[in-house]
Amino acid sequence: MDGLSEDFSGLPEYKTRSERRLERLDRKWSKRRASPYRGHRARVLLVGGFALALLLLTISLIVLFAPTPYLGTTHGALESSIGGASAGDCRPAGSGWICATSADGKTARYDVKVDWAGCWTGELLGSAAAHPDSQPKISGCVSIMDHLTAG
C-alpha cells in the first residue's frame, strides 16, 4: 500500500439527496407534531367561520321576518299588507294612516296605527251599519313580501 488506509469507518455515511430531504421533512414535522399549538389555526378558522355564518343567518332571518325597523313603513307596503289588490289607498294622517279597502264595489276606510315592528291595527271609520261586509277591526304585520310587492 502507499500509506493510505483502506478503512473508511471514520467517514460519515453517504446519503442520497432523497434520503437527506426525507430527514429534513421528518425533523420539520416532528417539531410540528410536538407543538402544543398543533391544529390551533384550523380550530380558530372553523369556530370563527361557524360563528360568522350563524351571525349572518340571524341577521338575515331578523330582516326577513321583521323588516320594518330596518326598511321603514311605506304606503305601498302597508297597502299590500292590509288588503293586497283590494287596498285602494293609504295616506299618512297624524300619528297613523288612513287606508281604504274595497270589497264588492264598496269602500271601507280604516284608521290604521303602525308600531315600531311593522305590526298594525285598524279601526273602521264610520259606522259598521254603513259597511256591513267590513270588519270593525283589522290587524296584521308588514312582511318582507309586502315590501317586495309594493313596487
pLDDT of residue 86: 56
Pairwise CA distance, residues 3 & 9, whole Å:
17
19-62: pLDDT as tens digits: 999 999 998 888 877 877 778 888 999 999 999 999 999 998 88
8 A C-beta contact, residue 141 and residue 120: yes
Q: Which residues of the chain have pLDDT under 50?
A: 1
Cell (9 digits) for 96: 297613523
DSSP tag of 125? S
How much is the pLDDT for 28? 86
The cell 500500500 sits on which residue?
1
What pLDDT does 90 receive? Answer: 81
